Amino acid sequence: MLSGLIQQFERLASELLAAAYHEDEAKVDRIDGQIQDLIDRLSRIRVHSRNDITAQIGFFKRLAQQNCEDGSSVRRYTDTMASLFDRYMDLNTGLNPGGGGLMAAPVHEGYDPSVHELAFDCLQERVAIIGLDYRYIYLQQAQCRFSPEAGVRLHRPASV
């Protein structure tokens, strides 16, 4: 459903450009209204897979980039992206679209993780960041469980 709405947006955007080129103001106004309704619909839709979440947030990222000269549009699209992040990211359980299995470990009392740590801990893939001196800078919980030699020390650095 999401990909169909994004394709419909792309089609309407092409029609809008053609109408503007032919200076058909009535058609421009009609298509612009349809596009705004579609953008609102795309921001309200709740998706349940990681790929759809990525596509939905990426859609608004592209809109912000395409409208970078218009500060109010950029603010509106980045606010939409922030609300999507809030919708899909629970700070205590990680990325959990629709109750799916992308859960991270709960945040411990007194520990203030960075946004990077929260994002890394939500990934299903194992993540380890190793410095140029071959020391661990960051080790994701899933990687700690996987790697016995790295898991000896389960305390992670305070910052990424």
Q: DSSP string spanning the chain?
A: -HHHHHHHHHHHHHHHHHHHHTT-HHHHHHHHHHHHHHHHHHHH----SHHHHHHHHHHHHHHHHHTTT-HHHHHHHHHHHHHHHHHHEETTTEE-GGG-S---PPPPTT----HHHHHHHH-SS--EEE-TTS-EEEE-HHHHHH-TTTTTS-PPPS--
The 10s digit of each residue's pLDDT in 109-158 is 655 656 667 677 777 677 778 888 888 777 777 666 665 554 444 445 55
**HSE value, Cβ hemisphere, 13 Å, CA-based, for 110:** 0
* CA dihedral of residues 55, 61, 66, 68 (deg, nearest 10): 180
**Total tally of structural domains belonging to the chain:** 2
Domain limits at 140? 104-146
Instruction: Say if residue 24 is in the same domain as residue 74.
Output: yes
Q: Is residue 17 part of a domain?
A: yes
Residue 40: its pLDDT value, please?
93
> Which region among 29-33, 92-96, 107-111, 147-151 has the lowest average model confidence (pLDDT)?
92-96
The 10s digit of each residue's pLDDT in 35-53 is 999 999 999 998 888 888 8
Q: Out of 89, 112, 129, pick the residue that ends a domain.
A: 89
Instruction: Say if residue 84 is in the same domain as residue 13.
Output: yes
Instruction: Say if residue 23 is in the same domain as residue 55.
Output: yes
